[in-house]
Structure 1
Amino acid sequence: MSNTDDRRFEVLRAIVADYVSTKEPIGSKALVERHNLGVSSATIRNDMAALEREGYIAQPHTSSGRVPTDKGYRQFVDRIAEVKPLSSAERRAILDFLESGVDLDDVLRRGVRLLAQLTRQVAVVQYPSLSVSSVRHLEVVGLTPARLLLVLITDTGRVDQRIVELGDVVVEDDLSRLRALLGHALEGKRLEAASIAVAELADEAPDDLRDAVVRCATVLVETLVEHPEERIVLGGTANLTRNAADFAGFPGSLRSMLEALEEQVVVLKLLAAAQDSRTVTVRIGEENEFEEMRSASVVSTGYGSAGTVLGGMGVLGPTRMDYPGTIASVATVARYIGQVLAGR
């Protein structure tokens, strides 16, 4: 890349930084005053004219300064040499806060609340995908001699409870045998494999337990193969409305985004693409395939452990965004959520 290109990128970087900070179009005079670019104001004006011709910046109003375009933000993001690092104290505080979560729901709620505070954007996290979940433990509790409570716990923290009505009384010894049979068939298996195993168990059960096994298996198969719509947790939605001015040039876009967040379908599809916990993906404006999100940027990644991605998470907000800081925050919170869930 030529010296001229490098210098023009430094001008673009300065425009992005100032616009993110001030929300005001940036003129050449402001760049000279705020940044030591090492060239004359005339050269900066020439560079800004070239950047505008190439579509990296635009003039929103006559006689005003310039603002970055989606193409300009993309160039800026692609050439971020080093994301803004979080301090060791910040990282420790994040991990401590997440580790204080009492269960999966609490950890994810804490994660989105923290990410929304760090980035001042809308934060979102997807619940662990059922397709990668395995049965960690099945507990069988006798509520009455003829009624059982089945508690199914997955390795991703999902907990399902189901009541089974028995046709006859089951004594404590038989309950222990039933617990052992079901646990052996299920524990350690992925949900799909577990549903097959428990269905087969109904044909292989001892005669004196067959009715109880069939009733439990029927309930468990329904639980294991029941894949309700994937869930997400949102935090910081009010941050969108605080940045309403950023969407003024896109009539109806803020309302469309709020509706998309409420319906969750679009957000789930965006996060479904975040399948690599080692990479943070940034989609800017028109790069978003969904029309509702084309006035926004989405910064997302996957979270998980041991090479397995459990779900996606990230933030969305106006294209006028602190990209280095946002990328660092998303990557850090995702990494620590994965660590916390893996340790449970």
Structure 2
Amino acid sequence: MASSEERRFEVLRAIVADYVAHHEPVGSKAIVDRHNLGVSSATVRNDMAALEEEGYITQPHTSAGRIPTDKGYRLFVNRLADIKPLSSAERRAIISFLDGALDLDDVLRRSVRLLAQLTRQVAVIQYPTMSNATLRHLEVVPLTPARLMLVVITDSGRVDQRTIDLGDVLPEEDVARIRDVLNSKLSGRRLTDAAARVAELPEQAPHELHDALVRICTVLVEHLVEHPEERLVLGGTANLTRNVADFPGSLRQVLEALEEQVVVLKLLAAARNPGAITVRIGEENEDEQMRSTSVVSIGYGKDDVLLGGMGIVGPTRMDYPGTIAAVRAVANYVGQILAGN
């Protein structure tokens, strides 16, 4: 870029920083006073005029300073060369808080609470997806002589349960045999592979187990094929109400949209790779109800395997560098914890 363009970007950066910090339109005098740009107020005013003409900033009302537009925030985010890492104390706090989790549900609840506290925004995390998971263990628990509970445990720590009515009494020793059959054939397999093998099990099993296995495998196939990935944990919604002015006439719409899991899942859909940050700003959000917000999302997982998505939702006026750093750090530790499960 030419030097004048670089200077204009520095002016934009100053406007973004001041507007995020003070929530007031920024004038040329404030930029000169607060930021060491090495140019006069007249030069800053000319640069602001050029930025406004190009659509990066706007004047909310007459005789006011300027505020960034969605386009301005986008240029600012695109030019973030380095994201300042969290401090050692912040990283230790994250590790300490998440390491105390008891199980997958607790890991995700703690992650959402932590991310909402770090960013002061709404945090959301998706349960590990089934499509990339591997079956770790299948447990079969007798509830009554004619009723079983099937517990599916994946390598990500996800646990799902299904109740199965057998229609006939099944001795406990046969329950144990069925458990052995299921685990010997399916444990350690990707769910997509396991689903294809389940249908073959009743014909391969001893005759006396056939009818029970048909019922169990029917439920298991439905479970494996459906891949119920709509489970989400949401936290920090009250953070939005601290800055009602950031959502003129649209806060209720945003809150209603967050109640719809399908909308939130769309927000996380761009998180395709573990560690890859996606930022959607204002009008870039597909859902009309969310166009007064920005969404910072990331995929979490282990190695190159995506387990799910997580991120934050907040106003377009947000601390993008700090938010991106926090989202990335929490996702990294969640992936590490689940890799150790």
Q: Which amino acid aligns with 1:32?
A: V
Q: List aligned pairs for 1:223-238, cutoff 5 A.
A: 223-228=223-228, 230-238=230-238
- Equivalent position of 2:207 in the other structure: 207
**CA–CA distance in structure 2, aligned partners of residues 223 and 52 of structure 1:** 54
Measure how far apart 1:111 and its partner are.
Answer: 0.8
Q: Which amino acid aligns with 2:303?
A: A
Contact 2:150 2:164 in 1 (8 A): yes
Q: Which amino acid aligns with 1:170?
A: P
Contact 1:57 1:72 in 2 (8 A): yes
* TM score, norm. by length of structure 2: 0.94
More divergent stretch after superposition (3-12 vs 224-233): 224-233
Measured at CA, do residues 28 and 93 of structure 1 come closer, stay the same or move farther in structure 2, by a change above 3 Å? same
Percent of aligned positions that are identical: 70
1:243 aligned counterpart, secondary structure: helix
Contact 1:55 1:71 in 2 (8 A): yes
- Counterpart selection for 1:313 from 310, 313, 335: 310
**CA–CA distance in structure 1, aligned partners of residues 279 and 219 of structure 2:** 43
- Equivalent position of 1:304 in the other structure: 301
Measured at CA, do residues 136 and 33 of structure 1 come closer, stay the same or move farther in structure 2, by a change above 3 Å? same
**CA–CA distance in structure 1, aligned partners of residues 131 and 269 of structure 2:** 12
Measure how far apart 1:159 and its partner are.
Answer: 1.4
- Equivalent position of 1:277 in the other structure: 274
Measured at CA, do residues 265 and 215 of structure 1 come closer, stay the same or move farther in structure 2, by a change above 3 Å? closer
Measured at CA, do residues 141 and 257 of structure 1 come closer, stay the same or move farther in structure 2, by a change above 3 Å? same
Matched, 1:257 2:254: yes
Measure how far apart 1:84 and its partner are.
Answer: 2.3
* TM score, norm. by length of structure 1: 0.93
**CA–CA distance in structure 1, aligned partners of residues 4 and 59 of structure 2:** 22
Q: Which amino acid aligns with 2:84?
A: K
- Equivalent position of 1:10 in the other structure: 10
Measured at CA, do residues 147 and 56 of structure 1 come closer, stay the same or move farther in structure 2, by a change above 3 Å? closer
Measured at CA, do residues 230 and 169 of structure 1 come closer, stay the same or move farther in structure 2, by a change above 3 Å? closer
Matched, 1:289 2:290: no
Structure 2: state its 5+ residue gaps. Answer: none
Measure how far apart 1:75 and its partner are.
Answer: 1.2
Measure how far apart 1:229 and its partner are.
Answer: 5.8
Measured at CA, do residues 162 and 294 of structure 1 come closer, stay the same or move farther in structure 2, by a change above 3 Å? closer
**CA–CA distance in structure 2, aligned partners of residues 169 and 45 of structure 1:** 83
- Equivalent position of 2:332 in the other structure: 335
- Equivalent position of 2:107 in the other structure: 107
- For these two proteins, the number of residue pairs brought into alignment is 340
Measure how far apart 1:273 and its partner are.
Answer: 1.7
2:131 aligned counterpart, secondary structure: helix
Matched, 1:177 2:177: yes
More divergent stretch after superposition (109-118 vs 76-85): 76-85
Measured at CA, do residues 31 and 262 of structure 1 come closer, stay the same or move farther in structure 2, by a change above 3 Å? same
- Equivalent position of 2:151 in the other structure: 151
Q: CA RMSD in A?
A: 1.8
Contact 2:137 2:154 in 1 (8 A): yes
Contact 2:275 2:331 in 1 (8 A): no
